Amino acid sequence: MLDSKRPIPRDQAGRHPGLALAQWRNRLIASPRFQALAQRLLPGRWIARRHARRLFDLTAGFVYSQVTAALVESGLLRTLADMPLTLDQAAGAACLTPHATRTLLLAAASLDLTQHVGEHWTLGVRGAALVATPGLEAMIRHHRLFYADLADPLALLRGSGGGALASLWDYAPGSDPADARTYSELMSATQPMVAAQALAAYRFARHRRLLDIGGGSGAFLRAVGESVPGLALGLFDRPQVIAATAAEDGIARHPGDFRHDPLPAGYDLHSLVRVLHDHDDEPALAILAASRAALSPGGRLLIVEPMAAPGKAPEGHAYFGLYLTAMRSGRPRTPDEIRAMLRAAGFSKSVQRPTPLPLVASCLVATV
């Protein structure tokens, strides 16, 4: 437990001892003599090269992302997945000159997205993995909106710029009502990889009735239903989202607003999949409290979403931190932060279950 830990001794100014160490290291790295020495000695050269490579990738990562986007948007990724192409065939398929096509294919090859074999171009290992990852191409296409907002990152952080991504998510505060179908389709396309994380982490068969709160068009429920046939399924979402989904698949539909409306009773398992991080702390706590109120003793709530892991993985605070800022709602949370909120909402216990790909989603199970 956090409060049983012994207090860390501070310096006279009350600062953590690790701070002085970090400052000393940073001064060392900044020294030209240390830089020269590090590059002369072999272990130092390896470490310096590794940092230089990562720093270059940070500096140039936006170019790599746009090479990937060009491969997707030109249709070349899909065409190369179907058959190998010569340069001239690829140029015809992409509606680009042979010179521009060669530039794109060479750039993509150096990122392992494509590969040149003899006279032909085919997909590289990363290109093949991209095509095999459900919804990733749709994600890359929708990044056009996020990229526009990121053109001025400080304006985005100050809240004075952006707005392109927020216009997609019409439940984000201050957004104009848009067609909920656009984001529901994006979420459905990417749902198989998310549902796979939940199914690997949790045994749904121990329950009778599952309510997916903020379940969009029901893709998560359909994936769970296929794996666990006897489970009764219920979908709770905004009325306009529920209205846009097909009604004939045996899923009980509950239109409502989870910030104000009570959730339907009678379900022994609730799920919140990529929902909690969309909301600031106050509404997020209200959603957890609504779930707690609707569950009977022994009932459970699953939280499935990418969670922050500071110092371990960048996608939490670096990708989703900025994504949710552009969306103007929510924040990425660590499992411990969510567990504290679950306690505040009245859940008696919560545990984290490992998932195969935490960058897609982590999983917390809370019990009433």
Ligand X SMILES: C[S@@+](CC[C@H](N)C(=O)[O-])C[C@H]1O[C@@H](n2cnc3c(N)ncnc32)[C@H](O)[C@@H]1O
Start-to-end CA span in the chain (Å): 21
CA dihedral 342→292→290→321, nearest 10 degrees, is 20
Output the CA–CA distances (angstroms, integers) from residue 170 to 136, 148, 164, 167, 234, in the order listed: 22, 18, 11, 6, 23
* Token code pair at residue 173: 């505060």
Contact yes or no for 303/332 (Cβ under 8 A): no
Stretch that binds ligand LPSJV3QT, among 43-51, 80-88, 125-133, 285-293 (CB under 6 A): 125-133
Interaction partner, residue 323 (ligand LPSJV3QT, ligand X, none; CB < 5-8 Å by kind) = ligand LPSJV3QT
CA distance 327 to 308: 17
Q: Which stretch binds ligand X (CB under 6 A): 90-98, 122-130, 158-166, 237-245?
A: 237-245
Contact by Cβ (8 Å): 179, 240: no
Residue 209 has what DSSP assignment? E
Which residues 237-276 are close enough to bind ligand LPSJV3QT by CB under 6 A?
274
**Residue located via tokens 């799920």:** 271
Q: Which is nearer to ligand X, 274 or 339 (CB)?
A: 274
331 binds, among ligand X, ligand LPSJV3QT, none (CB under 5 to 8 A by kind): none
Q: Which is nearer to ligand LPSJV3QT, 93 or 199 (CB)?
A: 199
Q: Are 187 and 274 spatial neighbours (Cβ–Cβ below 8 Å)?
A: yes
Cβ 175 to ligand LPSJV3QT, closest distance in Å? 12
Tell me: does residue 129 bind ligand LPSJV3QT (CB under 6 A): yes
Question: Which residue from 146, 202, 220, 323 is in contact with ligand X, where contact means CB under 6 A?
Answer: 220
What does 336 interact with, of ligand X, ligand LPSJV3QT, none (CB < 5 to 8 A by kind)?
none
The residues with which 210 forms a beta bridge, in sequence order, are 233, 269
CB 123 within 8 A of CB 82: no
Q: In this structure, what token pair is assigned to residue 121?
A: 């171009």
**String marking each residue 271-300 x if it binds ligand LPSJV3QT according to CB under 6 A:** ---x--xx----------------------
Residue nearer to ligand X on the CB measure, 76 or 324 = 324
Residue 136, binding choice from ligand LPSJV3QT, ligand X, none, Cβ under 5 to 8 Å by partner class: ligand LPSJV3QT
How many other CB atoms sit within 10 Å of the CB of residue 161? 17
By CB under 6 A, residue 259 contacts ligand X: yes
The amino acid at 84: P
Sole binder of ligand LPSJV3QT in the list 101, 323, 345, 368 (CB under 6 A): 323
238 binds, among ligand LPSJV3QT, ligand X, none (CB under 5 to 8 A by kind): ligand X
162, 216, 299, 330: which one binds ligand X (CB under 6 A): 216
Q: Give the CA distances from residue 46 to residues 39, 41, 51, 231, in Å, rounded to whole numbers and listed in that order.
A: 8, 9, 9, 54
Please state, in angstroms and rounded to a whole number, the distance separating the CA atoms of residues 193 and 274: 12
Query: Burial of 85 by CB count in 10 Å (0-12 exposed, 13-18 middle, 19+ buried)?
Result: buried
Which of 143, 270, 274, 339: binder of ligand X (CB under 6 A)? Answer: 274
Q: With respect to ligand LPSJV3QT, which residue has the nearer C-beta, 307 or 368?
A: 307
Q: Give the footprint of ligand LPSJV3QT on this chain (CB under 6 A).
A: 125, 129, 133, 136, 139, 169, 274, 277-278, 323, 360
Q: Give the footprint of ligand X on this chain (CB under 6 A).
A: 171, 180, 187, 191, 194, 214-216, 219-220, 237-238, 241, 257-259, 273-275, 278
